[in-house]
Amino acid sequence: MSSRWAVSKDADQAITAQRKRQKEGKRRAREQKQKETAEQQEQQAQRSIEPPTKRRRTEATSLEGASLLPQTNPSFGQSRGLELYDILNNIEEGSYGFVSRARENPTGEIVALKRLKIEHGNNEGFPVTGLREIQTLRVCSHPHIVHLREVVVGPGPMQDVYLVMDFLEHDLKALLEDMDEPFSSSETKTLMLQISSATEYLHKNWILHRDLKTSNLLLNNRGEIKIADFGMARYTASPPPRLTQLVVTLWYRAPELLLGAEEYGFEIDIWSMGCIFSELLTREPILQGKNEVGQLSAIFSLLGIPTPATWPAFKSLPNSKALYPLLGTTRNLTSQLNSSKYPDLTEAGIQLLASMLTLNPEGRPSASEILSHPYFREDPRPKPKQMFPTFPSKAGQEKRRRRATPRAPNRGEAPRLPAEDFTSIFAGHDSKH
């Protein structure tokens, strides 16, 4: 005859086993839910032309006043045809389209026509870069962002798609190459304030441009600059989703992207703006690598080698795993951003430029902080746009000719850089510094 204690012990064991099974069932259910959530987030990250349906505002203090642009919901109908426009001359071929100058027949107004690059016969359908540009420009309204008037289609069964936009006489890249002298300090301030204002508008509305460069900045003869080419643009969130790092034209690409970061934010646009700031001052791109490794070499030669103190998250980036073992054998180079490189730039201006080109993305200012920087309140003050000089327009003449520069990256797999590719970054540095 078993004792009362044995029965009680058996019952306790049965209860314990039941609780264990229940706990195990809850754990499996939780893991399944986490897996489903991760799959949903991955699918959402891949829908680059749609804003996230839910946005966590855990960092709202860093984006004061941030909001979503209202999505237009027009009634769908047939687009107008290209026959309404007379093409006057071709301007240039961009990464995602062919740009021409045209006249609208009913009004006689001069406009810019951008024919999207569509590979007829493939299975990819309408290019995602075109969808991004149309969607972004339809909801943006800012004096320094190019205005999309309408979308028209060409004749024939294989209809081409054209974006009709305001015509501006210059792109900043071609203009800088033709100038004998760079912009003056007051003119540079005016241009940087306009670029920063437009970038602040994008960022406050959760839009990353992801390809800011001088050839994507258009200037008219009234001293007004406008950001163009939104083929890489997309909505983001806080915290940022996983994104491709194969964005931004190489010479304007932030170091975290070159090192394989898949989670990044508005800081990559700020880095590009720093490159543009320098180019306005010197007429030359500040960082001109031939490939990803060469670009990193140019960055580290100019700004120094990252350390755990200056960039704590550096070691966690995918491509840094090949680079990090070499850092211990190399002296830390110091930044070359100084008055000898920019003799006409004040101390406040050098501080602003250096902050925009900080290796650690967390150290870069926001577009709002750039707008309020003391540099813009110093003498000489920003030149009123009514006083801005005018320049002969090449957009109304022959096709623009420019020196060979990198194009925006194509869609595809971003490169992983092997360790042996990095050895050239530090070649000769110890003997020079």
Segment 325-354, tens digit of pLDDT: 656 555 556 788 988 899 999 999 999 999
166, 186, 204 - which closes a domain: 166
Do both 160 and 203 map to the same domain? no
Do both 213 and 329 map to the same domain? yes
Instruction: Flag whether 264 is in a domain.
Output: yes
Tell me the pLDDT of the chain averaged across its residues: 81
CATH of the domain at 134: 3.30.200.20
Model confidence band, residue 411 (pLDDT cutoffs 50, 70, 90): low
Do both 86 and 229 map to the same domain? no
Do both 357 and 250 map to the same domain? yes
Q: Strand order of the sheet with strand 161-166?
A: 85-93, 97-104, 110-116, 161-166, 148-153
Predicted confidence at residue 323, as pLDDT, reads 73
Which residues, 6+ apart, have CB-to-CB distance to 370 below 8 Å?
Answer: 192, 196, 270, 273, 352, 356
Predicted confidence at residue 307, as pLDDT, reads 85
Do both 110 and 194 map to the same domain? no
Of residues 45 and 386, the one with the higher pLDDT is 386
Instruction: Flag whether 47 is in a domain.
Output: no
Q: How far apart are CA 309 and CA 74, in angstroms?
A: 52
CATH of the domain at 224: 1.10.510.10
Predicted confidence at residue 392, as pLDDT, reads 82
Q: How far apart are CA 141 and CA 146, in angstroms?
A: 9
Predicted confidence at residue 11, as pLDDT, reads 59
Instruction: Flag whether 37 is in a domain.
Output: no
Instruction: Flag whether 192 is in a domain.
Output: yes
Q: What is the mean pLDDT of residues 182-188?
A: 95
Domain count, the chain: 2
Structure token digits, residue 356: 């925009």
Do both 271 and 416 map to the same domain? yes
Model confidence band, residue 220 (pLDDT cutoffs 50, 70, 90): very high
Predicted confidence at residue 433, as pLDDT, reads 41
Do both 119 and 240 map to the same domain? no
pLDDT tens for residues 66-86? 666 665 555 445 678 899 999
Predicted confidence at residue 128, as pLDDT, reads 85
> What percent of the chain lies above the pLDDT cut of 70?
73
Predicted confidence at residue 303, as pLDDT, reads 92
Model confidence band, residue 48 (pLDDT cutoffs 50, 70, 90): very low
Domain around 128:
82-166
Instruction: Flag whether 52 is in a domain.
Output: no
Predicted confidence at residue 89, as pLDDT, reads 92
Q: What is the mean pLDDT of residues 134-144?
A: 95
Instruction: Flag whether 150 is in a domain.
Output: yes
What's the pTM? Answer: 0.78
pLDDT of residue 57 exceeding 80, the answer is no
- Amino acid sitting at position 257: L
Model confidence band, residue 379 (pLDDT cutoffs 50, 70, 90): very high
Give the DSSP H/E element, type plus range, for residue 267.
helix 267-282
Kindly list the catalytic residues. 211
pLDDT of residue 430 exceeding 60, the answer is no
Instruction: Flag whether 317 is in a domain.
Output: yes
